[in-house]
Structure 1
Amino acid sequence: MEYGLVGLWLATYLVLGLATLPLAAALFPRFEDAGAALAVPLGLAVVAVVAHLVGHLAFGWPALAAGLVALLAASALLGDAAAVQERASAEAAGVFAAAFVLVVAVRAYNPAIAPLPVAIGEKMLDVGLVQASLRADALPPEDMWFAGETVQYHYGGHMLSALLALLTGTAPRFAYNLALAGFYAALVTAAYGLAGAVGAVHDVPRRVAAGLGAFFVGVAGNLHTALRVAGWLLPDGLASSVPGVPADAATWTPTDFSYFSASRVLPVRPADPSVTYQAATEFPLFAWINADLHAHMMSQPFMLVAVALLFSYWRGDASTRRLVLVGALPPVVGLVGLVNIWSFPTALALTALALLFAPGDPTDLLGRYGEGLVDDAASRARREALRVGAALVGTLAVLAGAVLWTAPYWVGVVAEGPGQTVTVWGHWTPLGPLVVVHGVFLATFTAYFARRTATGRVGPLSILFVGLAAVGVAALGAPAVGLTLPFLAAGAWRLRDRPDTGFPTLLVGAGVGLVLLVELVSVEGERFNVIFKYYAHVWLFFSVAAAVLLPALARGRPTLPDEADVDRERLRRTGTALGVGLIALTGLYAGFAVPAQLGGDPVGAEGPTLDGTAYTYAMYPDEAEAIAWLNGQPGRQTVVTAAPGGYRWRPEAGKGASAPASLTGHPTVLGWFHERQYRGDEPYERRLSDVRTIYQGSAADQRDLFDRYGVDYVYVGPAERTKYDVAVADHPDLEVAFQAGNVTVYAVRT
């Protein structure tokens, strides 16, 4: 086990956070911890945004140095060192360390950066982008799966991981897992700080809300595991009659548990029985156990930083609001898009909602220029029009600033990528899967809004009527409408009628709005990703809101001052019972999944290790030697490998997963089939044909293709020998550069 590297990376993250504390204190002046729990992701954000800009001139140490200098300068010039809370900072560091060590422990027993049959997912894409970034002289990096072209992918998180590897002097095979642990720890700590800050405003003890925020974001799972356990415990006949319990639950036992199953409960195309695969409805603990270093995961800490900035705006005076809206939010939202383009619309939409519903007069942002725009005698319609206009202008300003801060990415990657068509989606997801995914949170919000709306004007019977109407809509074939519209209506009403309902209500509205939107629209050819990416945001918003609302319910709240006859003790008992029950149900997944990951020896290693390529020496020993040799070659060397690569590394079936490119960052002429999506059919098919010609065509055609693609090496391993009638051994322009067993790497003579 590489304990030295673990200590080095943990210290690096904490030192970055320490350097960011004054800046965090300035941006979050009304947070009880002065933003200490947000310091690490905020510091990483500053480094990433500046390094990305400088990296288009010179990547590597120049970009890293610029990012670090910018962070120190921002903290020194804009920060508030006197406001830093030392005790709270130590507390946040402890939370970060605990979360970091958890993922390190899990990955130490399952470190493989591999496709099937060793691991599930797209780890080869992720490590390839990290390696390609490290080999880049300037951004964007060359695509390791499409030699000669820059990446057509949101690479910001992989770029940041590469910078951390460079800063610590860590080989990518270790840096992958350590960066993964760092992003998880940053996410959990950000949730801890944000939930604590929101809770403190709503008369919830800060540490209670903070702890629940960390739990729901970092530990909790959906109801899938709880339903499996219920089916196992209940008699067979009774289990099959309980709504939501899977049909095969009666035969399930704890030994059948798979960490993967809980992430696949929602049908991609419910109206098409021929489509049997499920959408990814991930929650963070699943994602980090599955351990792709993927864009949707790395963006989550920065999404919570953006949410925290919006809460600081929500609570701040005019000067804080200006600092957040003009200075801090645009680069953070830009980074969210750079790391994961799917998150960009969500960040902007949440910005619009926060600006629209935030308490106070939006004209305060204009200082003396806003005086006289609205007076006490102004009509409600005029005030509302001004508020809507201010929210629109503010959101557009954030959009413009976000694009400017990350302009090279939008010009060089997004604008050059394939177009996407938004379409109307005409298939409703069944009620059962929606409840499995969102049920715990919706139960919390139902209890909260029922208490909030039961006033003298709106009695319990009215609330019951609305609830029954929603159930009726759900039963009539539009489940998402029935589940979401009551919350949208109640939330909008409470935010306009009583702004003290506050930020949790805004997060609930944003979450249920996304759930409904995903049911109404899609992106052509991307239905899986539409559900996958936006449900990740829903989980974050619901988690932070529930972390505040559950303890509020347990304290007998919320009730209105004029309701003196309310039995608060009964409210406290029912709220506490609800909270304990929901925590237990959502914690079952972690109780099964985490212990199952610990113990045993990783493939290719004796004892725990963070070496993500150790498995290659056990399963593909000759290829492991050849890949290690290629990895030692300087710069970017174009390599030809079997195409297309994909989710399996099975040489006997002609599938090599583009491993020589993915594990080294050296570009190959054509890698994974994802390039069809990134580049279009014609360029993809042309390269697919050209790779075939390179392996089994005439010498003249091969020579032309060597020149066209600037080929440096031709890799001939077991997958290539299975897939092609290889005819390169006697080519006059090739010579053996490396050989190990059944793998030969030929160099193109220059």
Structure 2
Amino acid sequence: MLYLFIWWLLLLLLSFAALPVTLRVLRFLPDRGYAFAKPFALLLWVYPFWLLTSLGFLQNDFGVLAFLLVALAAASWGLLRGRGERSAWAWLRARCLAFGYFRAFNPEINATEKPMEFMFLNSILQSQTFPPHDAWLSGFAISYYYLGYVIVAALTKLGNIPSAYAFNLGLVMTFALAAVGAFGLVYNLARYAQKDERNGKGSRAPYVFGLAAAMFLLVIGNLEGAFEVGYNAGLGSRDFYAALNLHGLEEVEPSGTFAPQDGWWWWRASRVLNDQNPSGGGHVEVIDEFPFFSFLLGDLHPHVLALPFGLLALACALNLTLRPTMLIASKDFLSLLRTQTLTPEILPNMLIVGALGMLNTWDIVTYGILIAAAFAIRQYRAHGRASRAMLATAMAYFILLYVGAVILFAPFYASFSSQARGIAPNIFNRTPLAQYLIMFGLFIFIVASFAAVLFFQQPNRKRALGEIAKFMLPLLAVPLVIAGLGVVVLLNSSELQNMLAGVLNMSPQDTPFGVVRAFAGTFVASPGTFILLTLLIASVAALGRLNLTNSEPENAARRNAVTFALLLALAALILTFGVEFLYIRDTFETRMNTVFKLYYQAWLLFSVAAAFGVFYIWQTTRGAGKYVWFSALGGLTFLSLLYPFFALPSRANAFKPDARAGTPTLDGWVWVRGAFPDDYAAIEWARSNIPSDAVIVEAAGREYSFDNRVAVATGLQSVLGWGGHELQWRGNYDQAGPRERDLEQLYRTRDVAAARALLGKYNVSYVIVGGIEREKYQLNQSLIDKFSKLGALVFEQNSIRIYRVDASH
């Protein structure tokens, strides 16, 4: 509890230090950005720390972090003008403490990618300069988007908090900041929408629907949880559930109660989509994670750490949208560029967009485009039409935004490598409509209803239908364009022809048209999602355009808020539409990661747009139909809440203390003391006695395992950790492959000279020999004893030993 208090106190100090500059930058929001003070403060504090440490001007230590905090406060408070509007933050803080309570019953840094994330955190804490070293590949820097771990490490170092606690505190902080950010966005949207209403200022609606946004983002699950409950209660046949293809749900023995009982049953909700292997018909893994699942699982992954900063980017976009505009008569491009684009106000947006690239690189595109789109909307209102000058300034802003973002984070990109190999068409898999609605059903219901209400409020519905038709035509042409481009590419690539010929079991010369037949066949077999998204995207885009071009002074504030909400809904729909046709190629050569990352962004965007949509429907509709609709919404929300209702106690061991695991606690490493006491003792010795710049050697780890436990827990550089993940991070196995072979030779050889040469090759100072090494390399006593000829035994407890390599031996 002490460390939780220290962490919260540090966040309060940071937000207080940066509050004036936050209120200045986000001054056009009704609360002037108060909801976003903490994530913005973290960026303003950590960015100069990271940059100057990367450039060699500073070092990664407590004094630097403390000095930069004081400097931020001094610079920020010189800008103070006025104050922000506080809202229901106390309730949200209580909610975040509740999440901390949940984490205390399952804090273990174990399984999935948690060891990897703990390794990143400890690597950064051990590194004196940046980029931080990769503890799983000695001599190399981390090649991953790691800014979120720098933020957590900075707070860890400033508060002198053990990293095993910091891991879970980072999760609690991220949940808290995301909850406040989602609340703040919809609160500001709803408050601004009521600007022109006589009784709007005293309304509680912005608070209510702000809380709904936080719930949509972080508390509800997808509808898979409802099917889990129904299946286990015996509602429906196994054939029905088999037809839904929910990651093998129908193969589980039902519990006979509403509560699922099989192992990690809650995992299936993150695997709703099921692609098929075109050559064998087998299952192809697709990840469709959502925020509640992420926090339930407890992985401190970049897509989770980036959530509050994605919301901060949306706040910047909203701030641009709500900025008062005056009609611009000038047509001189250079004058407009100087007065509208080249202003100091673009700098915070560059910082936030650039930070997103280093937090979770997938986010830099989506949120940067949304900020640029918000600027374009503001320019449209200022010019009164889509003039050449308006389009030119909007494009200039877009280019400058990204150029500035990349320049600000140039040291990161200079050392970053990726597994991305370009863009590929999704030929063989369409998302079945049932699976899409299980994933996003609640949001689709709200967005479709929001669009329907706006349509029936149009003074000229015939014109609205015409606008929808205009947007539908290019969307309907997308499959034809993709197919045509695919044929052109295949006709000019014999390599691709040969690869796909094997998949389709046909001759290479027949491949182009065979691919087209297969591509068309997927639409015949599963057209529902394409049709639904085409209709919704066209409707939302058309209604947004009509709303934007409406120049009537009445209800102008409401229209501006609606335009922004429609922009977010449109972006979410396009993201889920796009993965039906294209994906980013990586080492898996499937759309798994593309669906994962873009669906995650879509969930956030849907959450905000849907919460505002519910607010709008509540405010503008009347009659019995309104209450029928809200009854249906209540039913869908109830079904979405079944997942967290049953998953929370399942994941937290029914909130019962576990003496062996040491729960309740936020110490994520204490479980090792009970499960692997010898390894725990060796790790504690290494933490206290091995220099931070030393290189150790332990067994090359199996993926998602406890292996490499010393490097994970201490951040000390090891020769090789999870080789498969190094492949994913770097896009090749050039370094990991030889090291894997060398480690096996090092442990297995009886030739002392050969072992000495391998230790020298990687500059190894300490050798770990424990149960993991004994099992992996089948070590007998003579193989172990050779290390005593290479140095001194400095630690021994039962089955684990640590040798210090002595160059003189």
TM-score, structure 1 as length reference: 0.87
Which has the larger displacement, 60-69 or 144-153? 60-69
Whether the aligned pair in 1 keeps the contact of 2:696 and 2:765 (CA below 8 Å) is yes
Please state whether the residue corresponding to 1:519 is helix, strand or coil. Answer: coil
Whether the aligned pair in 1 keeps the contact of 2:695 and 2:717 (CA below 8 Å) is yes
Whether the aligned pair in 2 keeps the contact of 1:174 and 1:610 (CA below 8 Å) is yes
Distance 1:583 1:30 in 2: 33
1:452 corresponds in structure 2 to 454
Whether the aligned pair in 2 keeps the contact of 1:128 and 1:665 (CA below 8 Å) is yes
Which has the larger displacement, 587-596 or 443-452? 587-596
2:554 corresponds in structure 1 to none
1:507 corresponds in structure 2 to 568
What amino acid does structure 1 have at the position aligned with 2:362? Answer: W
1:30-79 deviation line (CA, Å, top 9, x unaligned): 32322211111111121221221122122223542354245314422344
Please state whether the residue corresponding to 2:208 is helix, strand or coil. Answer: helix
Which has the larger displacement, 444-453 or 673-682? 673-682
Distance 1:78 1:478 in 2: 56
Distance 1:224 1:486 in 2: 25
2:218 corresponds in structure 1 to 218
After the TM superposition, which residues 477-496 of structure 1 pair with which residues of structure 2 at under 5 Å, given as runs? 477-496=526-545
Distance 1:315 1:529 in 2: 35
What amino acid does structure 1 have at the position aligned with 2:11? Answer: Y
Whether the aligned pair in 2 keeps the contact of 1:227 and 1:244 (CA below 8 Å) is no
Distance 1:245 1:622, change over 3 A: closer
Distance 1:475 1:730 in 2: 66
1:580 corresponds in structure 2 to 634
Distance 1:509 1:270 in 2: 31
1:300-359 deviation line (CA, Å, top 9, x unaligned): 110110010000000013699976851211101111111111211222222333233346
From 683, 702, 713, the counterpart of 1:627: 683
Whether the aligned pair in 2 keeps the contact of 1:553 and 1:576 (CA below 8 Å) is no
Distance 2:40 2:91 in 1: 16
Whether the aligned pair in 2 keeps the contact of 1:309 and 1:324 (CA below 8 Å) is no
From 110, 120, 129, the counterpart of 1:114: 110
From 135, 156, 173, the counterpart of 1:165: 156
Please state whether the residue corresponding to 2:222 is helix, strand or coil. Answer: coil
From 690, 701, 716, the counterpart of 1:666: 716
1:163-209 deviation line (CA, Å, top 9, x unaligned): 11111110101111111111110111111101111122334821022
After the TM superposition, which residues 28-427 of structure 1 pair with which residues of structure 2 at under 5 Å, given as runs? 28-56=26-54, 57=56, 58-61=59-62, 63-65=64-66, 67-80=68-81, 82-85=82-85, 87-88=86-87, 91-92=88-89, 94-115=90-111, 121-203=112-194, 205-231=205-231, 235-236=235-236, 240=240, 248=250, 251=254, 253-256=257-260, 258-269=265-276, 271=278, 274-276=281-283, 278-317=285-324, 325-358=345-378, 360-361=380-381, 383-414=386-417, 417-418=418-419, 420-426=421-427, 427=429
Whether the aligned pair in 1 keeps the contact of 2:17 and 2:77 (CA below 8 Å) is no
Which has the larger displacement, 23-32 or 231-240? 231-240
2:734 corresponds in structure 1 to 682
What amino acid does structure 2 have at the position aligned with 1:504? Answer: A
2:774 corresponds in structure 1 to 721
Distance 1:475 1:719 in 2: 52
Distance 1:404 1:666 in 2: 31
Whether the aligned pair in 2 keeps the contact of 1:617 and 1:624 (CA below 8 Å) is yes
Whether the aligned pair in 2 keeps the contact of 1:54 and 1:63 (CA below 8 Å) is no
Distance 1:166 1:237, change over 3 A: closer
Q: How far has the Cα of 1:113 moved from its partner?
A: 0.7
Whether the aligned pair in 1 keeps the contact of 2:254 and 2:260 (CA below 8 Å) is no
Whether the aligned pair in 1 keeps the contact of 2:450 and 2:613 (CA below 8 Å) is yes
Please state whether the residue corresponding to 1:266 is helix, strand or coil. Answer: coil
- Length, aligned pairs only: 701
Distance 1:493 1:67, change over 3 A: farther
1:365 corresponds in structure 2 to none
Distance 1:261 1:241, change over 3 A: closer
Distance 1:235 1:294 in 2: 36
Distance 1:232 1:176 in 2: 35
Distance 1:476 1:17, change over 3 A: same
1:637-677 deviation line (CA, Å, top 9, x unaligned): 2111111331133xxxxxxx211111110111010021122
2:584 corresponds in structure 1 to 523
What amino acid does structure 1 have at the position aligned with 2:6? Answer: L
Distance 1:462 1:48 in 2: 50
TM-score, structure 2 as length reference: 0.81
From 411, 415, 434, the counterpart of 1:432: 434
1:441 corresponds in structure 2 to 443
> Does 1:618 find its partner at 2:625?
no
> Does 1:739 find its partner at 2:796?
yes
Distance 2:800 2:106 in 1: 27
What amino acid does structure 1 have at the position aligned with 2:679? Answer: E
> Does 1:692 find its partner at 2:744?
yes
Distance 1:461 1:547, change over 3 A: closer
Aligned-CA RMSD value: 3.0
> Does 1:9 find its partner at 2:7?
yes
Distance 1:468 1:624 in 2: 61
Please state whether the residue corresponding to 2:437 is helix, strand or coil. Answer: helix
Whether the aligned pair in 2 keeps the contact of 1:46 and 1:70 (CA below 8 Å) is no
Distance 1:244 1:646, change over 3 A: closer
Please state whether the residue corresponding to 2:372 is helix, strand or coil. Answer: helix
Distance 2:236 2:76 in 1: 62
> Does 1:497 find its partner at 2:546?
yes
Structure 1: gaps (5+ residues): 116-120, 363-373, 558-567, 650-656
Structure 2: gaps (5+ residues): 195-202, 326-338, 477-519, 549-558
Please state whether the residue corresponding to 2:395 is helix, strand or coil. Answer: helix
Whether the aligned pair in 2 keeps the contact of 1:38 and 1:190 (CA below 8 Å) is yes
What amino acid does structure 1 have at the position aligned with 2:757? Answer: D
Distance 1:647 1:424, change over 3 A: same
1:345-391 deviation line (CA, Å, top 9, x unaligned): 222222333233346446xxxxxxxxxxx7x8xxx6xx344333322
1:488-529 deviation line (CA, Å, top 9, x unaligned): 212222222222241110000100111111221112235322
Which has the larger displacement, 498-507 or 65-74? 65-74
Q: How far has the Cα of 1:287 moved from its partner?
A: 0.4
2:329 corresponds in structure 1 to none
Whether the aligned pair in 1 keeps the contact of 2:17 and 2:69 (CA below 8 Å) is no
1:565 corresponds in structure 2 to none
After the TM superposition, which residues 561-572 of structure 1 pair with which residues of structure 2 at under 5 Å, given as runs? 568-572=622-626
After the TM superposition, which residues 587-602 of structure 1 pair with which residues of structure 2 at under 5 Å, given as runs? 587-596=641-650, 597=652, 598-602=654-658
Whether the aligned pair in 2 keeps the contact of 1:133 and 1:159 (CA below 8 Å) is yes
Distance 1:468 1:493, change over 3 A: closer
Distance 1:179 1:79, change over 3 A: same
